[in-house]
């Protein structure tokens, strides 16, 4: 797959001013299983198709000048699925990294992994590490892959890291601020998502980016993830552009 290394923000959403365009879009790629079962196919076929949709989304994000795309690829709760499905999803992740990594690297994509790393199978961990290491200096689209990710788990790990700094005398209680917390989450250094898109008609966050989504706009669409394409992406962006973000303040017209 390829992603435009020199972002061309003049693609199909060209009427939108850059100032209004979301810079960070996060995706809850839901509905793979239902997509498959509604066609009499095994659920795994939905995940396979889901990977194809993901490729389209990454490519399009590069074309329209999105800076960061975060994908919820495997949650810390997904381990509770049947073993065959978990094994399939691990294989899919492996294939994604093995097949797409060099192309993504050529396209200047920088990959970052968020989620718990303890207890991950060493082969998977090495692969994720390789993707991050290879693309670390790239300056194009940031692709953040949430793998073995759960926001509460991320917050617990962050709180422990802060507590260790306090116990070690590197940080005083009075110096703990919102920034301290942000800096101790897996997403440290990343902009909070401007927009979270969830497919398949479900309207919940499912333990995704709970801290980071304080002021995020949400877009829910009925399409199952395998059917999500460039047009659906553009519609999500158009929706975002119509929103008035006030961050707890007042509309400019009301002042
Ligand atoms: C949710 O659909 C989707 C997932 C748990 C996995 C998402 C994975 C992909 C889109 C494939 C690409 C991912 C990788 C590994 C890079 P669901 O299975 O919960 O669907 P359902 O709600 O209809 O059952």
Residues 114 and 146: beta-carbon distance below 8 Å: yes
What pLDDT score was predicted for residue 119? 84
Ligand 1 geometric centre to CA of 12 (Å): 27
| Domain interval for residue 99 | 21-150+195-243
Q: Does any domain span residue 156?
A: no
Ligand 1 geometric centre to CA of 71 (Å): 10
Domain of residue 121, CATH code: 3.40.1180.10
Q: Does any domain span residue 190?
A: no
* Predicted confidence band of residue 11 (pLDDT cuts 50, 70, 90): very low
Q: Does any domain span residue 110?
A: yes
* Residue closest to 225 by CA, chosen among 94, 47, 106, 87: 47
Q: How many domains does the chain have?
A: 1
* Residue closest to 107 by CA, chosen among 218, 5, 221: 5
Q: Does any domain span residue 252?
A: no
For residues 35-62, give the mean pLDDT: 97
* Predicted confidence band of residue 4 (pLDDT cuts 50, 70, 90): very low
Return the residue whose CA atom lies nearest to atom 5 of ligand 1: 74
What pLDDT score was predicted for residue 19? 65
Q: Does any domain span residue 188?
A: no
Q: Is 121 left (phi over 0), alpha (psi -120 to 50) or beta?
A: beta
Annotated catalytic sites, by residue?
30, 78
Q: Which residues line ligand 1 (CB under 6 A)?
A: 29-34, 47, 50-51, 54, 73, 78, 89, 92-93, 96, 200, 225
Residues 132 and 112: beta-carbon distance below 8 Å: yes
Q: How far apart are CA 33 and CA 38, in angstroms?
A: 9
For residues 213-218, give the mean pLDDT: 97
Q: Does any domain span residue 3?
A: no
* Predicted confidence band of residue 9 (pLDDT cuts 50, 70, 90): very low
Give the H/E segment covering residue 48: helix 43-64
Burial class from Cβ neighbours inside 10 Å (0-12, 13-18, 19+) for residue 70 reads: buried
Mutate-to-test residue for ligand 1 from 1, 26, 28, 29, highest number of ligand atoms within 8 A of CB: 29
The 10s digit of each residue's pLDDT in 66-119 is 999 999 999 999 999 999 999 999 999 999 999 999 999 999 999 999 999 998
Q: How far apart are CA 176 and CA 180, in angstroms?
A: 6
pTM summary value: 0.91
Ligand 1 geometric centre to CA of 195 (Å): 19
* Residue closest to 71 by CA, chosen among 181, 193, 162, 185: 193
| SS3 at position 235 | helix
Residue 17, pLDDT > 50, answer yes
* Predicted confidence band of residue 245 (pLDDT cuts 50, 70, 90): confident
* Residue closest to 120 by CA, chosen among 176, 83, 170, 79: 79
Residue 146, pLDDT > 50, answer yes
Q: Does any domain span residue 60?
A: yes
Q: Does any domain span residue 11?
A: no
């Amino acid at each position: 797959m390829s992603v435009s290394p020199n972002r061309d923000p003049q693609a199909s959403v060209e009427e939108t001013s850059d100032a209004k365009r979301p810079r960070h879009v996060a995706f809850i790629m839901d509905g793979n299983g239902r997509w498959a079962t509604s066609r009499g196919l095994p659920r795994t076929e939905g995940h396979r198709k889901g990977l194809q949709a993901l490729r389209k989304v990454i490519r399009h994000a590069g074309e329209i000048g999105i800076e960061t795309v975060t994908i919820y690829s495997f949650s810390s709760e997904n381990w509770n699925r049947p073993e065959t499905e978990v094994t399939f999803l691990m294989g899919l992740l492996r294939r994604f990294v093995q097949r797409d990594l060099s192309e993504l690297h050529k396209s200047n994509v920088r990959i970052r992994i968020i989620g718990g790393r303890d207890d991950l199978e060493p082969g998977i961990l090495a692969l994720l590490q390789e993707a991050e290491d290879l693309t670390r200096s790239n300056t194009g689209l940031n692709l953040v892959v949430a793998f073995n990710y759960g926001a509460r788990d991320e917050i617990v790990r962050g709180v422990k890291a802060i507590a260790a700094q306090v116990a070690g005398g590197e940080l005083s209680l009075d110096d703990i601020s919102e920034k301290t917390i942000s800096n101790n989450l897996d997403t440290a250094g990343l902009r909070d998502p401007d927009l979270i898109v969830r497919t398949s008609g479900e309207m919940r966050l499912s333990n995704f980016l709970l801290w980071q989504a304080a002021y995020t706009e949400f877009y829910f669409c009925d399409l199952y993830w395998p059917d999500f394409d460039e047009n659906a992406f553009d519609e999500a962006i158009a929706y975002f552009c119509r929103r008035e973000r006030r961050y707890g303040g007042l509309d400019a017209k009301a002042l």
